[in-house]
Amino acid sequence: MHTTLISASELIALRQAGTPHLVFDCSFELMNPAAGEEQYRQAHIPGAVYAHLDHHLSDKLSPDASGRWQPHPDAASGGRHPLPSRERFAAWLSSVGLANTMQAVVYDRQGANYCGRLWWMLKWAGHDAVAVLDGGLPAWLGAGGDVVDGTEAGHFQSHFRLGPPLRRLATTADVAAQLGDNAQTIIDARAAPRYRGEVEPLDPVAGHIPGALNRPFNLNIDADGKFKPAAQLREEFEQLLAGRDPASVVHHCGSGVSAVPNVIAMEVAGLGPSALYAGSWSEWCRDLTLPVAKG
pLDDT in tens, 185-208: 999 999 999 999 999 888 888 999
**Fold annotation for 169-284:** Oxidized Rhodanese; domain 1 (3.40.250)
Q: DSSP of 129-161, one letter per residue?
A: -EEEETTHHHHHHHTT---B-S-PPPPPP----
For the domain bounded by 5-142, which CATH number is listed? 3.40.250.10
250 touches 285 (CB < 8 A): no
Kindly list the domain boundaries of the chain, sorted by start residue.
5-142, 169-284
Distance in angstroms (rounded) separating the CA atoms of residues 139 and 144: 9
Q: What is the mean pLDDT of the chain?
A: 93
How remote is the C-alpha of 2 from its chain's centroid? 17
Tens of pLDDT, residues 16-56? 999 999 999 999 998 899 999 999 999 999 999 999 999 99
Distance in angstroms (rounded) separating the CA atoms of residues 226 and 111: 8
Phi and psi, residue 269, nearest 5°: -75, -5
pTM value?
A: 0.94
On the question of pLDDT at 280 being above 80, the answer is yes
On the question of pLDDT at 66 being above 90, the answer is no
Handedness of CA 121, 125, 131, 136 (dihedral sign): negative
Catalytic residues: 253
**Region 90-115: what's the mean pLDDT?**
96
- The closest of 109, 104, 113, 90 to 37, measured between CA atoms, is 109
Fold: same for 5-142 and 169-284: yes
On the question of pLDDT at 151 being above 90, the answer is no
What pLDDT score was predicted for residue 153?
72
